[in-house]
Structure 1
Amino acid sequence: MRLSIASALATLCAAALLYQLFEGAGWLWTSIGAVLTVLAASVLSGRLSLPTWAAGLVSLAGLGVFLTASFAGEKAWLLVVPTKGSLAELAALVGTGWEDIQRFAAPVPGDLPGISLLTSGGVGLIAVTVDLLAARMRRAALAGLPILALATVPATILPDPISWPAFVLAALGFTGLLVADGRERVGHWGRAVLVRSTRPAADAPADAQGGAVGDTRGLRLSGKRIGFAAIVLAVLVPAMVPPLQPVSFFTFGVGGAGSGGRGNSISIPNPVTSLRGQLELPARRTVMTYTSDDDRPRYLRIFALDTFNGEQFSMTNPEGEPENRTSEGPLPPPPGLTGAVPVSSVTTDITVSEEVANLEFLPLPYAPATVNVEGDWRADVDTLMVFSTRDNASGLRYQVTTTEPRPTAARLRALPDTPPSIDERYLQLPGDFPDDIRALARRVTAGAESRYDSAVRLQEWFTKTGNFTYNLRTQGHSTSALRDFLLSSRTGFCEQFAMSMALLARSLGIPARVAIGYTGGVKTGAQWTVSTSDSHSWPELYFEGAGWLAFEPTPSGLAGQGSARVPDYSVPQEEPEDDAASAPTPGATDRGEESAPESAGAGQRNADDREALLQPAATVEDEPMPVALRIAIGVAALALVLLIPAAIRVVTRRRRVRALGRTGTVPPGQPGHVGVRASGGEKVQVAAAWAELDDVLHDYGMARGASETPRALARRLTRQYEFDAESAAALTAITDSVERALFARVPGPSAPLGGELKRVRRALAATVSRGRRIRAVLLPPSTLRRFRALGESLLDGFDRLENIRLRRTAGRRT
């Protein structure tokens, strides 16, 4: 009972690691109930002295009853006994919970029934496994593996490190399990014997039977000392070791006041992951609202990803010097923007929702000139991203004045195609960038007279002529995924469209980067409202004289991103150079009388499409993967894992068969004898035959005794299983060769043993049941024995270390 309680406590302590993944405590109470149910089942199995396999079934049955009563009690018999209806309800909740986990980013709502069912069921299964390993099989050390599985869940999902108090609690739970197991093992031997004593034996107190009671406190405490020391080191050492320099946009440095370089650091979630997570949220949530003095929608940029590593775009570490604080006056001028293109000044008032958490970058229209905001916010010179290492944008109200280029197609076409004076990272592509992608870019832009014309043709190819479709159910952003998107499937969402156009532009010599933020949203009353479904990604291309200009390759309207809008300057049409007729940013819709009727109509249609997209009936969504298919995939993966021992056994057997197939000499009197003494190859053949015979015996449950000689083994097997004369002769030939190899001074030549070993294996297989033969193939005990021996040797290493310490102590006393 002690080990059962310790197993339950260790599982609960490890489950505390999951708290960072959830909002609310619904998952916690159901998980505690699941663990307590498994504990009750374990205690019952111990009272009834059930075998290990039966104890496992009882625990699983108890867990099933608890989950049924907690989540499907209304459809169960007497609220607890599972029925067909309750099982169907649980299966539906599992599917719902899986979809919820895919839709929400951590922390997810822990009070949702589906998520609570998956969490409590998973913790319950971990509790069953830990109880079987520790309390039934007496392998407490191996019980740390399922406990470790709980720790890997938050470690692989969350960008932040695991909370150290939760780690300490989990480690203490596992240490307590090991201590309980040690007490159980010592208790089975009776009274403790003398290990070491600081007093003479004559002074030792006597027990009731007159025996000496040794001082075993050092032995009892050594395991605890090691465990606690390991926990302390695991917590303190990482805190004292300097962190490694980050290599991606997950963390980056910011220059501090007076530092002259990078000082404080901030962490942000993966922009692409956050983008997709918001697009897939089941309900629209308001992110921010804004008004502008010209009442036009504007894209609000948060991140600018400028480097491509062959797999995905990432962000160069932004630098914010003290003189670039927003409170110090105007921000640095926009790179590349000169007098060749007219500009306008627009003021926008933005209010960020209080529901937005951990946002350390300000959503801003490009290009910001001044930002009136409270707090220590700084601008990066190259990208004009505004960020802070101390403040958060949640619930923040601020005002931004932007210097917006107002180009026309004619002005952009007239810009000189001289090499741009900009950092080469905006043109960099990996050395293995596919040649067919480069050829595709040249083919799409064939005949273009300028870089601007090439950019427009790329945008048209994505939005019109390339037959692309918008779909959130896509995965991957590696080179292979890029080729599949551009050359095969042509299905994706804004991430694929933006990154693909940026890469194609770079292959044509046009500097490009990827922006992530929000589209202009929809008009609600006197203000514009931006929601989670307006999360977006778009490319920005650089033109000398005009600076960075946004393009829109993602389809819009009902068939795509509803609030995405193509900027007027990218419309390929000749028009008079009327500065007031062009949009300052993508998404702007001219409302003045100088606007062209076509542009106004297009803007109104886009607005109508956006309103239609917000209706539930207009949502375009692929069918999710059926729950049955997901379960089948999981079962197939589990089967592959379980077949690993069988695969190892097959590889080992084939290696030995190849050794048996080598040509060897034949004993005198046999056909083919040439009178050559035994060679190294024959010794290898004998060793392979003996090892394979030993594994076959172990697989069939006929393991050789530790003191049983090869000759005695042959006699026992022949008599016990009544081998025929041919099988008995084959077994004798193998054991005779082994004895000569082991004990003879001159072993002499040996005949090939492959045929004899095959006959013996068939004879042994004929004496066992079909189930035993199937187990020998699918889950061979000989391979499992090696796994167990490897684990025991690793654990024995710690015992050897302690024995060395004790011997050295005794030597000093001597």
Structure 2
Amino acid sequence: MRLPIAAGVATGAVALTLYPLFQAGAWFWASLGAILVVTSVGMLATRYTLPNWLAPLAQLFAFWIYLTAVFTGDEAWARVVPTKESLVGLLRLVAAGFADIQRFAVPVPDNAGIVLLTCGGVGLIAIMVDFCSARLRRSALAGLPLLSLFVVPASFLGDPLSWPTVVIGALGFLGLLVADGQERVSHWGRAVLVRRTPSFIAPRPAADTGTLRLSGKRVGVTAVALAILLPSLLPTLEPDPLFGFGVGDGNGRGGNSISIPNPIVNLRGELSLPGNSTVLTYTTSDNLPRYLRLYSLDNFDGEQWTMPETKGRPDDLISDAPLPPPPGQGQSVPTSQVSLEVTVSEEVRNMNFLPLPYPASRVRIEGDWRPDRDTLMVFSTRDTAEGLTYQVVSNEPRPTAENLKTAGAIPQAIQQRYLTLPDNLPREILDKAGEVTEAGATPYEKAVKLQEFFTTTGGFSYTLATQGHDGPALSDFVLRSRAGYCEQFAAAMAVLARAVDIPSRVAIGYTGGTSVSGRWNVRTHDSHAWPELYFEGAGWLRFEPTPSGPAGQGTATRPPYTFPEVTTGGDDEPTAQPSAGPTGSDTPTGAANNRRNPLLDQEFGGTPITVDEGMPTAAKIGIGAVVVVLLLLVPAMLRWEQRARRRRVYSRPAVVVGSAGEGPGGGPGVVAVRSNRGEAGVAAAWAELDDALCDYGMSRQPSESPRALARRLSEQYEFSPEAAASMAKLAEAVERMLFARTPGETGSLREDVRRVRRALAATVSRGRRIRAVLLPPSTLLRARALGTRMLDGFDRLENIRIGRPARRNA
């Protein structure tokens, strides 16, 4: 019955790769119960030799009962027996699960419908694995359903798979193959255990069969280890290798195309990271923060916003000429020139798009970087931005409300590209857009109404616990739940803007960050998405529908041109828009010491932002170096602790009685430690001498008596008289303990052991002495012997047969 058990274990091991898809663990326990049910029925089918076609049917029936008991037990008879109502309940949960899958992006909550679908999928795969391995006896074929389970997280996750879960899944499949091999061998007779002879100090016999001891388990474990470690040493062809590590681009700095991750998935991942590491820092000529855009998404297919194909012409190198003029920006709207110096952290990887303020007019950076003429995204197919410092000049539009109210007609090309909506967009979304913007007379006023709907009047809240941006999720976010994070806010406002004929797109990048000692610090939790709306004359302008401050995304800020105009006293002329400058920024000390986002100062009355400085890179490197050194010193510390323990034993006066036995490592002639204090002291002293010989690379023949060993060492290494006498004293003490009938008394052996160790150390090189201290071979050999005994234990487990005991002949 080992095959049904191995099939269940393999399915459970591979199912662990699903854990990043969920927020909690209810799916795991439900799936574990399903695997146990399927495995139990498989064991019974094997035990009573049911036909191969009947076993899967029995498993399906038991699995149905299990699902009924877990998910619709209240509607079943005796909470177990399925009824019509319980079947309808299961079908209703399945439909709800499919609906929830459309609403949420990973990681999904543990809703009953989603858990039912997951549990059902895992249970069906467990049945298929059991059928292939235990019924058809084709365990290798069982890898196909297991692979389908493994592909699910690889398809939905933007981040690389966790290599420990991959190792566990691979070991589960190897265990199934090993069990299949043992089952086949058992048909020819009982498997014979290959005994491994422990090797400590004594050399092996002449007939060494160690090279023939590579069992299937060792080959399998070695293959898994190489499959995980080898990719870290070889060049990868994609920016994100399977397990998230590797040397880098196999093409070096070549290639004419670029493979980028899903911006939405990356955004969700960075906002959910427990750490808040620095992505980049920058300074500005006016000491004000700037949103830095990476990607521009303008295609909405009803499911998600996606990027257009980026195109960079050979003559568009930004090092040779300014960037193309921003679309739609004219002379009627005043502009302000600002310069930035941006430094990207060296810890950032695969940043092929530059974080830039929009619209950038000139960028000075090393490498082959090109702009996309339509979106002004700057990218490279050969270089990455990690560790680079570059300068940016931006001519930012400074529109007034009057400029935007009187914006010109939208060009036909802009309308065709940025007003497109899918035909299956829910009607209630269009109705809600018209309802919210009903009071707006111009596109600008409608845009402001949409922003106010999300930030103030609509009752929305900020949370990372809600995901999804497709049609059903969009309707749920706008009309019902009204809770989400920046992805939902940006996508929803862009869709509603298109619904009222305002060209829109979604930008993804970073907010302005926080000011630290005069520099703006942008961290992973500053990752952000926002909508950009088009107004002829001003071009593409940023809007901010995401709530900000302590209850939202802390560094998100509304642009000045979206604030209402303020009139003064009896003067009908409106005053200027609220300034974006920080309080006290006109003074050098105020600018240098300001640790607040200046726009938050206006919106939230100067609410301070706590800045997590994080651990310096030098400290991380130092801690890593200390950890590595401590790991390397583990054998030395174990050896030192063992020497100290033995020294305490053989330093006391000893009374010797006759006895014999084996010592540490199994070598012949080593004294066994019993309850007598004298025996323990002599045994500890001789064991320490034995380990010293091993550490210094000196051999001891199995046939040598203690006296013969003492004589050979004294003559071969020319011991001093004192060292030779101490060596003879140790040998005599061991022989008296082994062979004498009457007790004998010895004094402390501490000085004798120390003198012999020094004599042995003086005969070897300095390198050998250093190795004996830092990497003592005696300790390493004991670790090897422990691993060998563990393998022997696995071999013994393989010989255990579960079933009816054999009958004995009378």
State the TM-score, normalizing by the size of structure 2.
0.47
TM-score normalised by the chain length of structure 1: 0.47
